[in-house]
Amino acid sequence: MHELSMTTQIIDSVLEEAKKQDAKKVTEVHLVIGKLTFLGIEQVRFSYKILVEDTIMKGSKLIIEEQDGTIECPSCGYKGAIPFADDPAYHVPIPTLRCPKCGKAAKIIEGNECTIRSIRMLK
Amino acid sequence: MANLKEVVNGEEVTLEIESGVDILEVNKQLARKNMERLREHNVKAIDIMGSIGAGKTSLIEKLVQALKQKYRIAVFKGDLTTTIDAERIGRHGVQVLTINTGRECHLDANVVARAVERISLEDIDLLFIENVGNLICPAEFPLGTEKRVVVVSVTEGPYMVIKHPFTFMTADVMVINKKDLAEIMKIDTEQLKKQVKEIKPDVKVAVTNALSGEGVEELIKALEL
C-alpha cells in the first residue's frame, strides 16, 4: 500500500548510485519484492513509470522478481516455504507461521524484503 | 555496496551494479535503534494497532488506570490530525505526546525516534504507542517496541483475522474487544482465537470490554506487565 513512497525511495537510491557512477542513463532496474510484504507489483510498476518521467531513468526496463516466503522454526529447526492453512471455512488458503513439522511458532526469514538487486546504466 | 561489471560494446559502456539496497531495511534499522535506546533506559514499549473504532484508546485508558501506580507511564498517540484522544488519555495524569502524522496512515520508526527525543526516558518505565487507526499499513513498519498488540472488535465482523494474515503475523498479543456485543453481532470469539492461533501459534489473546474494563487484567497478563 506504500507503493508510491517505496518506489520514490527506490528511484532516489538508483539515481544516487547513477550519479556516483557518472552515468548518462539508467537502462534497467532489477528489484526483488517479497511476497510477504504489502507491496503490490502492479502499483509499483505504475508508480515507477510516472516517477522516472523527468529523470535519466526514463524508458528504463523494470524487472520485478517476486521472492517466496520462507520460514524457520526455532523449536525444531525446520526451514522451508511458508505453509498455507487450507480450511474450507476460510475460502482461500491463508499463510501461517505454524511450523508444518512440529506445530510451534516459526519465524519469517525471507519474503519480507524490497531490494534493489541490480542496476544497469550507460556511461 | 556495489559490485561492478563494465561491458564495452563499441562506444557504449554499460555498467552493471549489484546493489542489494533493501528499502524496507532502513525502517527496520531505525526500529532496532529505538529498541536499544529504550532498553538502555529500561523502558518497556508497546505498539498498539487496530482499525478506527476498535477501542485502542479506551483500552489504553483502562491500562493506564490499572498500571499507573506500578509504572511511570507515557503514551505516544499517533493521529492524523486531532488531539482528542491525547486529551482523553491525559486526564489520567500521565504524559501524552501526540504525533500528528498529517496524511500518513501509519507511524514509522523515524517519527517514533523523534518523539522519544522529546520525552525524558529517565522519568518513565512504560510507553504505550497508539498507532494510527489502520490495520494494514502499520504492519510493515516496526517501531522498535518490545511487543505489538493488534486490537480487533467484534463489530468489525467475523473475517478480520483471515483477511489480514500478514498483520497478525506481526502480533504478540491480540485483543478481541467489545465482547459484550459478540452475541448481538453473532460473532464466535473462540473461532477468532482459533484463526489467529493458526496464523501465529505463539500469539496471546485477551477478550475484553474496554468500556467496563472486563478482560483488562487478562490483557495485562498477556503483556507480562
State whether A114 and B198 contact (CB < 8 Å).
Answer: no
* pLDDT < 70 regions, chain B: 1-2
- Find the CB nearest B14 among A9, A114, A120: A120
Q: Same domain, yes or no, for A16 and A60? A: yes
Q: Which three cell numbers stand for residue A25?
A: 542513463
Same domain? A116 vs A98:
no
How confident is the model at residue A90, as a pLDDT? 65
Structural domains counted in chain B: 1
Question: Residue A71, SS3?
Answer: strand
Is B39 within the bounds of a domain? yes
Are the beta carbons of B22 and A104 separated by less than 8 Å?
no
DSSP strand pairing (A79-81 vs A70-72): antiparallel
Return the bridge partners of A72, or none.
A79, A107
What number is the average pLDDT over the span A105-111?
94
User: If we measure between CA atoms, which residue out of B48, B42, B40, B74 comes closest to residue B222?
Assistant: B48
Indicate the SS3 state at residue A103.
coil
Assess if residue B182 is contained within a domain: yes
By CA distance, what is B23's nearest residue in A? A114
Contact of B139 with chain A, judged by CB distance below 8 Å, is answered with: yes
- A21/B17 Cβ within 8 A: yes
What is the pTM assigned to this prediction? 0.86
- A64 and A104 share one domain: no
Tell which phi-psi region holds residue B144, choosing left (phi > 0), alpha (psi between -120 and 50) or beta: left
Q: Is residue B5 part of a domain?
A: no
Note whether B15 contacts A: Cβ–Cβ < 8 A: yes
Cβ of B12 within 8 Å of Cβ of A122? The answer is yes
Cβ within 8 Å of A, B 156-175: 162, 165-166, 169
CATH number of the domain within which A118 lies: 3.30.2320.50
Q: ipTM exceeding 0.95?
A: no
d(CA A95, CA A102): 16
Which domain, by its residues, includes A27? 3-68+111-122
Q: Are A41 and A62 part of one and the same domain?
A: yes
Strands A107-110 and B3-9: unpaired
Q: Do A85 and A57 share a domain, yes or no? A: no
Q: How many interface pairs between A and B have CB atoms less than 8 angstroms apart?
A: 103
The answer to whether residue B16 is domain-embedded is: no
Which residue in B11, B169, B172, B191 has the most chain A C-beta atoms within 10 A of its own C-beta, making it the best mutation to test that interface?
Answer: B169
Q: What total number of domains does chain A contain?
A: 2
Tell me how far apart the alpha carbons of residues B199 and B91 are, in angstroms, rounded to a whole number.
37
- A-chain residues near B13 (CB < 8 A): 122-123
CA distance B111 to B142: 12
β partners of residue B126 = B44, B73
Written as one string, the DSSP assignment of chain B is: --EEEEEEETTEEEEEEEEEEETTHHHHHHHHHHHHHHHHTT-EEEEEEE-TTSSHHHHHHHHHHHHTTTS-EEEEEEESS--HHHHHHHTTSSEEEEEE-TT-SS--HHHHHHHHHTS-GGG-SEEEEE--S-SSGGGG---S-SEEEEEEEGGG-TTHHHH-HHHHHT-SEEEEE-GGGTTTTT--HHHHHHHHHHH-TT-EEEE-BTTTTBTHHHHHHHTT-
B52-84 pLDDT, tens digit each: 999 999 999 999 999 999 999 999 988 777 778
Same domain, A102 and A116: no
Residues A93 and A37 in one domain: no
Termini Cα distance of chain B: 43
Q: Is A79 exposed, middle or buried (0-12, 13-18, 19+ CB in 10 A)?
A: middle
Q: Rounded to 10 degrees, what is the CA torsion of A71, A72, A78, A79?
A: 60
| Inter-chain touch A10–B23, beta carbons under 8 Å | yes
What is the domain range of residue B187?
24-222
CATH number at residue B198: 3.40.50.300
pLDDT tens-digit series, residues B89-114: 888 889 999 887 777 788 889 899 99
Question: What is residue B136's predicted lDDT score, i.e. its pLDDT?
Answer: 82
